[in-house]
A and B are shown apart, each in its own frame.
Chain A
Amino acid sequence: MNTASEIPEPEKTLPSSTVKMFPPPVRKKLRLTNVRIVSQVFFFTAFLVLCWLTWTSRLEGYPVSRILEMDPLVMISTMLSTGYVYRYLGWGLLVLGLTLLAGRVFCNWICPYGTLHQFVGWLFNVHKAKENFDRNRYRDMYFFKYAVVTVLLIMAAMGALQIGLLDPICLMYRTVATVVAPMVDMSIDAIPGIDPLWVDQIKFAPGVPSRIFVGSFWIGLFMLVLVGANLYVPRFFCRVLCPLGALLGAVSRFSLVRINRDVHKCTDCNMCMNRCEGAADPQAAIRVSECFSCLNCIDDCPEDALSFTMVGLDTKQVKLLPDVSKRRMFFAGVVGALGYPFLKIHGTNTDANFSPDLIRPPGSVEESEFLEKCIKCDQCINSCPTNVLQPATWAEGGLEGLWTPVMNFNIAHCQLKCTLCSEVCPTGAIRKITVEEKLGKGDFVEQGPIVLGTAFFDKGRCLPHAMDIPCVVCEEVCPVSPKAIQTHDEEVKTVFNQVVVLNKPFIVPDLCIGCGICQAECPVRDDRAVYVTAVGESRSSERSLLLKKRSGSG
């Protein structure tokens, strides 16, 4: 019986004629698995570069959301929820086509989240080969991802899109946007004496104060737990939870190429299980739906019994379909069908009862449609130059709206001539708008400006109203013309016997666009004396404040 130490190094994964062109030291490196690693490094780097490019000074028409748009789960789930394929989501066909060709190649050659998991698993793998055999054997719980994707797709079809919670690409973008990028930036800022020119090049968000994201702790913790799970179950997320992997697994039933084991050569040494990423049982009947096409098993096979090939389908050697019982799928379907009303009745995000802080970025579609489109990837948050966009917490959006973008005007305001969030949104939850449309100019005069909410005064805290102290920063910064904050001017004698002119501000709700700059600049720093709430937003007639065309509105 051969053991791992006696196995000679195989050199047979590339066509021999090609291999012979190179000297032996190079030959040793010419493995398909190494090609795969190059691909993984490339896509992981590309992902980080795209995140880095998603910044106001760098965006010059680069397709910064392309990896999201290539995600077929995003394409299929939004098509189910809205009936349409938005803008660039057709790119998802690329990954689907690749899967039809060669199985779940995406999972181990492209997916940056998969790469992260594989890397972490490799880094902390202190197990012997024999232990790895067991760790990489297929386990019953790996069916769970198929249940996850079933639940999520049924909910999407009914109108509650929740794939973003677990879709690996959304998860990755969200974590980088709200946790990794601001952490990197803050760390760079902490280095004393670093050349500012360098800082501008390497920071994700150069030229602004350190960005903060409310509730990012939970996003970071979510990521940490999922990545940490690799120490107990290798590629726990990919094998157990990933809805995208499950979707591709189901599709790979049709793939032309797959791993094939020549049983006449196989000695049952189990070495193929040493580094099997997908727990696809290459030592027995290969589970096509679980195989990540990582090709490690071919690399590790001492007998050359395994190949990545197009042989005919011998049902005894292949398990084409995911190992899920009808009963489990039925149960998942029921959970999905009940999941929709269960999410909705929570009622934090309905027209009858919505949080005043649920202020959506400009270009956002009406809320129920928004929730059919938003995948919580937080690319909009990544692109926002003022830091006003924040991942919604439970308080603003409930579970259904968790980590979707909302505006927090205590932190910053929505810049008048900026539409970046609408440019980068891959699904059209924030529809692509122009500055002209945002401000209601040109072709959009009749429709008027996009209104995010309405400003209100707390006269008990406002300096001129409550304390006879001149102020009106709010009126000064109000960007619309004529100004939506106007004043009643009056002269008063203060307790110190001085005569001051007080400009007591008030809101003209017809003119207010809810940009929040009055709130952001208000000197009453904790509970602002002027604040914007969601009512009056133009995307929804159900949440409007004023009657259109009323007499006396000019």
Chain B
Amino acid sequence: MNDAETPNQPSNSGASSSPRKKPIQHPEYQKAPMERRVFLGRLGAAAGLLGTAGYLSLAPEKWPLSLRDSTGLLSKPVLKPVRLDDFRVAKPIGQTADVGIGRGGTPDQMLRKALDAVGGVKHYIQPGDIVLVKPNVAFDRAPALGATSQPALIEALIQMLLVDCRAQEVRVCDNPIESPSDCFMKTGLRKATEKAGGRVYLPDPNSFKQLNTPGATLIEEWAFFHRPFTNVDKVIGVAPVKDHNLCFASMGIKNWYGLLGGRRNQFHQDIHEIVSDLSIMIRPTLTILDGTKVLMENGPTGGDPSNVVTRDVVMASLDPVAQDAWAFQHLLQRDPHQLPEYLHKAELKGAGRVDFEGRLREIT
């Protein structure tokens, strides 16, 4: 430090003639021109920073790491569509029945009879399977009103899956029209599920994925309640049998509507097409129809116990089209010549056959 003996700058004559009031702020200050090394370093840093930013924002779109978007299309969120597995299991060798009908007894007994009629539940569910059960929980209604699946049957089914079949996990899910939480609570299905040892999946904004369904007309790609399907081995639909204002009947196939997300209220512009699309959207292991409380009129919501007729039938089926056709005729007691159009469309799409003759087996 040599600033003590030689001042760096000859002081300005004007300034030196009048004494300062305050001392210089930092007496040890030395003018320090930027060293070459420092200068180059900082220039390099600036160039590096600018160069990186320049590459990211100006490099052609196809180059790696480029953030350029000259059309404005790249930033559009892309939803990768997923596909569902085929959950069907071949029926026992030599068995002709595709539709099983169980009559008489408690719901548990009727269910067991129906399942035995198509080969027994143990044939379809293996120990260690993760099984998804899809009831119809569409409305915030008491089970007695017949608008939703009956909790007693769900409880019996889950117990059968967990105890008899030694399934690893049973999931129960639906995306109802009304508040999912409320619907599961007031239909008694949450209680029934949890009592039997199953787990309820409710839809939240992150539960949906775009599902690709080859061959579907309206839902070739559509938002689907996919989270409960993660790693699932078997899928069982459990549907009530109901009158429906627009498509005449809501049964096993229409039940899958409850897995759709997005603007599904538009589907009523073409209801038969969508229901037939549903028949190929998902290929369930089994479809169970709950004929214990049949909603004969004012469907699909019901609302008055007088709309409901009690029957002692539970069905289990490998062919949901034949099952729905039989239920339409025998449970809803409608004219078999006026089958809903969607059943014929579903047959054309390869979901099953309307003609159930010779494929029924009834256990009473």
Q: Which residues of A contact B (CB under 8 A)?
A: 1-2, 75, 79, 82-87, 89-90, 92-93, 96-97, 100-101, 254, 256, 262-268, 284, 302-304, 310-312, 314, 316-317, 365-366, 369, 372-373, 428, 431-432, 541-542, 544-552
Q: Does B263 contact A (CB under 8 A)?
A: yes
Q: A84-B67, A303-B14, A316-B25 are in contact. List 8 more A-B contacts (CB 8 A).
A: A263-B25, A264-B11, A268-B20, A312-B34, A314-B29, A316-B29, A369-B75, A542-B262
Residue B84, interface by CB 8 Å: no
Contact A547 B267 (CB under 8 A): yes
Which residue of chain B has the shortest Cβ distance to A432 in the bound complex? B72
Please state if B75 and A84 are interface contacts (CB–CB under 8 Å).
yes
Q: What's the Cα separation between A552 and B271 when bound, in Å?
A: 12
Distance of A189 Cα from B20 Cα, bound (Å): 63
Query: Mask for B20-40, Cβ within 8 A of A = 1, else 0?
Result: 111011100111111100110
B residues in contact with A85, CB < 8 Å: 56-58, 67-69
Beta-carbon contact of B57 and A79 below 8 Å: yes
- For B76, the chain A residues whose CB sits under 8 A away are 365-366, 369
B residues near A284, Cβ cutoff 8 Å? 25
Which of A83, A264, A547 is in CB contact (< 8 Å) with B24?
A: A264
- Which chain B residue lies CB-closest to A83? B75
What would be 6 A-B contacts, judged by CB atoms less than 8 Å apart? Answer: A84-B69, A256-B42, A266-B24, A284-B25, A312-B35, A365-B76
Taking a contact as CB atoms under 8 Å apart, the answer to whether B31 and A262 are in contact is yes
Q: Closest chain A residue to B217 by CB distance?
A: A549
Measured in the bound complex, the distance between the Cα atoms of B32 and A542 in whole Å is 64
Chain A residues, Cβ within 8 Å of B163 = none
| Residue of A2, A266, A542 touching B18 (CB-CB under 8 A) | A2
Stretch at the interface among B46-54, B193-201, B297-305: B46-54
B41 CB → nearest A CB, Å: 11
B70 contacts A by Cβ under 8 Å: yes
Q: Tell whether A2 pairs with B34 under 8 Å between CB atoms, given A100-B50, A551-B270.
A: no
B273 touches A550 (CB 8 A): yes
The residue on B at minimum CB distance from A433 is B72
Closest to B68 in A: A85
**Residue interface bits B59-72, CB-to-A below 8 A is 1, else 0:** 00000000111111
Band of interface residues on B: 35 or more
Query: A142 to B157, alpha carbons, bound, how many Å?
Result: 69
Contacts of A263 on B, CB cut-off 8 Å?
Answer: 24-26, 29
Give the distance to chain A from B312, nearest Cβ to Cβ, in Å.
39
Q: Is B266 an interface residue (CB 8 A)?
A: yes
Shortest distance from the beta carbon of A287 to any chain B beta carbon, whole Å: 15
- The answer to whether A547 and B269 touch across the interface, beta carbons within 8 angstroms, is yes
From the candidates B25, B31, B43, B58, name the one contacting A256 in the complex (CB within 8 A): B43
Asked whether B57 lies within 8 Å of A428 as measured between CB atoms, the reply is: no
A501 to B128, CA, bound (A): 75
Task: Compute how far the CA of A546 lies from the CA of B266 in the bound complex, rounded to whole angstroms.
Answer: 7
**CA of A550 to CA of B270, assembled, Å:** 6
- Please, which residues of chain A bring their CB within 8 A of the CB of B7? 264
Distance in Å from the Cβ of A514 to the closest Cβ of chain B? 18
**Residue pair A79, B67 in contact (C-beta under 8 Å):** yes
Specify which of B9, B25, B53, B273 is in contact with A265 (CB 8 Å cutoff). Answer: B9
> Mostly helix, strand, loop or mixed at chain A's interface?
loop
| Chain A CB within 8 A of B77 CB | yes
Q: Which chain A residues lie closer than 8 Å to B206 at the CB level?
A: none
Given the known interface contacts A312-B38, A547-B218, the answer about A542 and B33 at a Cβ–Cβ threshold of 8 Å is no
Taking each of A83, A85, A256, A262, which has the highest tally of chain B beta carbons within 10 Å of its own beta carbon?
A85
How long is the Cα–Cα vector from A374 to B240 in the complex, in angstroms? 49
Query: CB within 8 A of A547: which of B70, B77, B270?
Result: B270
* Neighbour of B34 across the interface among A265, A302, A310, CB < 8 A: A310
Contact in complex: B269, A312 (CB < 8 Å): no
Asked if B4 is at the interface (CB within 8 A of a chain A CB), the reply is no
Taking the closest CB of chain A, its distance from the CB of B297, in whole angstroms, is: 27
Q: Closest residue to A76 on the B side, CB-wise?
A: B53
A79 to B46, CA, bound (A): 20
CA distance A542 to B205 in the complex (A): 14
Q: Is there contact, CB below 8 Å, between B26 and A317?
A: yes
Asked if B75 and A312 make an inter-chain contact with CB atoms under 8 angstroms apart, the answer reads no
Give the shortest distance, in Å, between B63 (CB) and chain A (any CB): 13
Given contacts A264-B29, A312-B38, A431-B71, contact A303 B50 (CB under 8 A): no
Residue in chain A with minimal CB distance to B10: A264
Closest to A283 in B: B25
Docked-complex contact B270 and A84, CB < 8 angstroms: no
Beta-carbon nearest neighbor of A285 in chain B: B25
Which residues of the other chain, B, contact A79 by a CB distance below 8 angstroms? 57, 67
Please tell me which one of the listed residues A311, A316, A548, A549 contacts residue B31 in the complex, with CB atoms under 8 A apart: A311
Give bound CA distance, A310 to B45, whole Å: 15
The answer, yes or no, to whether B15 is at the interface (CB within 8 Å) is yes
User: Knowing A83-B67, A428-B75, A542-B262 touch, does A93 contact B32 (C-beta < 8 A)?
Assistant: no
**Shortest beta-carbon distance, B273 to chain A, in Å?**
6
Q: Which of A2, A100, A302, A550 contacts B269 (CB 8 A)?
A: A550
Q: Does B230 lie at the interface of the complex (its beta carbon under 8 Å from any beta carbon of A)?
A: no
How many angstroms between the C-alpha atoms of A304 and B11 in the bound complex?
11
Q: Counting CB contacts under 8 A, is B329 at the interface?
A: no
Question: Hey, which chain B residues are within 8 Å of A312, CB to CB?
Answer: 32-35, 38
Q: For the complex, what is the distance from the CA of A485 to the CA of B21, rounded to whole Å?
A: 87
The answer to the question of B74 belonging to the interface, with a C-beta cut-off of 8 Å to chain A, is yes
Contact A311 B266 (CB under 8 A): no
Closest to B11 in A: A264
CB distance from B178 to the nearest CB of A (A): 15
Top 4 A-B pairs, shortest CB-CB distance: A428-B72, A84-B69, A431-B72, A312-B32
Given contacts A431-B71, A432-B72, A551-B270, contact A262 B9 (CB under 8 A): yes
Q: How far is the CB of A437 from chain B (nearest CB, A)?
A: 11
Contact B50 A87 (CB under 8 A): no
Q: Is there a chain A Cβ closer than 8 Å to B1's Cβ?
A: no
Q: Could you tell me the distance between the alpha carbons of A431 and B18 in the complex, rounded to whole angstroms? A: 67
Taking a contact as CB atoms under 8 Å apart, the answer to whether A89 and B267 are in contact is no
In whole Å, how far is A138's beta carbon from the nearest beta carbon of chain B?
15
Residue pair A84, B74 in contact (C-beta under 8 Å) = yes
Residues of A within 8 A of B75 (CB): 82-84, 86, 365, 369, 372-373, 428
Q: Which chain A residues border B262 with CB–CB below 8 Å?
A: 541-542
B270: which A residues are within 8 A, CB to CB? 547, 550-552
> Given contacts A262-B9, A264-B8, A369-B75, are A90 and B43 in contact (CB under 8 A)?
no
Q: Give bound CA distance, A227 to B192, whole Å.
A: 68
CB distance from B143 to the nearest CB of A (A): 30
Is the beta-carbon distance between A93 and B53 smaller than 8 angstroms? yes
B73 within 8 A of A: yes
The CA-CA distance from A69 to B70 in the complex, in Å, is 13
CB of B39 within 8 A of CB of A254, answer no
How far, in whole Å, are A289 and B22 apart by their CA atoms in the complex?
27
B56 and chain A: residue at smallest CB distance:
A85
Minimal beta-carbon separation of A507 from chain B (angstroms) = 15
- The docked-state distance in angstroms from the alpha carbon of A97 to that of B50 is 7
> Whole-angstrom distance between the alpha carbons of A266 and B76 in the complex?
58
Given A100-B46, A264-B29, A314-B29, check contact A84 B24 (CB 8 Å). Answer: no
Pairwise interchain contact A311-B9, C-beta atoms closer than 8 A: no
Question: Is B333 on the interface with A (CB-CB < 8 A)?
Answer: no
CA distance A1 to B18 in the complex (A): 6
